[in-house]
């Protein structure tokens, strides 16, 4: 079946602009995760949804970052007043659930590469 999809794949924003990044998880996957990956680093957790509920947003770096998943499927990560330090790849992942074992395996989308100029 279809994997996780993300759009846009590339985004160039001028400093101060708002951006919205979309994630379409694997059908039937309850959990959805957003990560930020800087060059040469591993993915860093941003936030997590179980269905439409945002259960953990401890990784969001500032109040300029906001995520939603209103109907429990597609999710949007919004960054307001972008700064140069926001330049990174934003990865979305989904999993069947969070009970451990195979339910917990996360599958990633191709990412959105954001460049703030």
Q: How far apart (Å, rounded) are the C-alpha atoms in residues 92 and 109?
A: 6
Question: Least separation, in Å, of the C-beta of 16 and other proteins?
Answer: 27
Q: Spell out, one character per residue from 48 to 87, where the chain touches other proteins: x when CB under 8 A holds, - when not.
A: x------xx--x----------------------------
Q: How far apart (Å, rounded) are the C-alpha atoms in residues 73 and 91?
A: 16
Q: How far apart (Å, rounded) are the C-alpha atoms in residues 8 and 20?
A: 9
Which listed residue (36, 82, 94, 106) binds other proteins by CB under 8 A? 106
Question: Least separation, in Å, of the C-beta of 100 and other proteins?
Answer: 6
Residue 90 phi, psi (nearest 5): -105, 115
Question: Least separation, in Å, of the C-beta of 67 and other proteins?
Answer: 13
Which listed residue (88, 91, 114, 116) binds other proteins by CB under 8 A? 91
Question: Of 18, 26, 19, 24, which is closest to residue 2 (Cα–Cα)?
Answer: 26
- Cβ neighbors of 44 (< 8 A, separation 6 or more) are 35, 36, 37, 38, 59
Question: Least separation, in Å, of the C-beta of 12 and other proteins?
Answer: 16
- Show the tokens assigned to 77: 């990560």
Q: Is 26 in the site for other proteins (CB under 8 A)?
A: no
Binding site for other proteins (CB under 8 A): 31, 33, 35, 40-45, 48, 55-56, 59, 91, 98, 100-102, 104-111
């Amino acid at each position: 079946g279809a994997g996780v999809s993300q759009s846009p794949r590339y985004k160039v924003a001028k400093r101060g602009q708002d951006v919205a990044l979309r994630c379409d998880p694997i059908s039937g996957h309850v959990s959805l995760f957003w990560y930020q990956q800087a060059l040469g680093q591993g993915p860093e957790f941003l936030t997590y949804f179980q269905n439409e509920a945002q259960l953990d947003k401890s990784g969001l770096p500032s109040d300029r970052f906001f995520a939603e998943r209103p109907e429990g499927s597609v999710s949007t990560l919004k960054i307001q007043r972008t700064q140069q330090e926001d330049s990174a790849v934003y990865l979305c992942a989904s999993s069947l659930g969070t009970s451990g074992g195979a339910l917990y395996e996360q599958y990633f989308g191709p990412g959105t590469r954001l460049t703030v100029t």
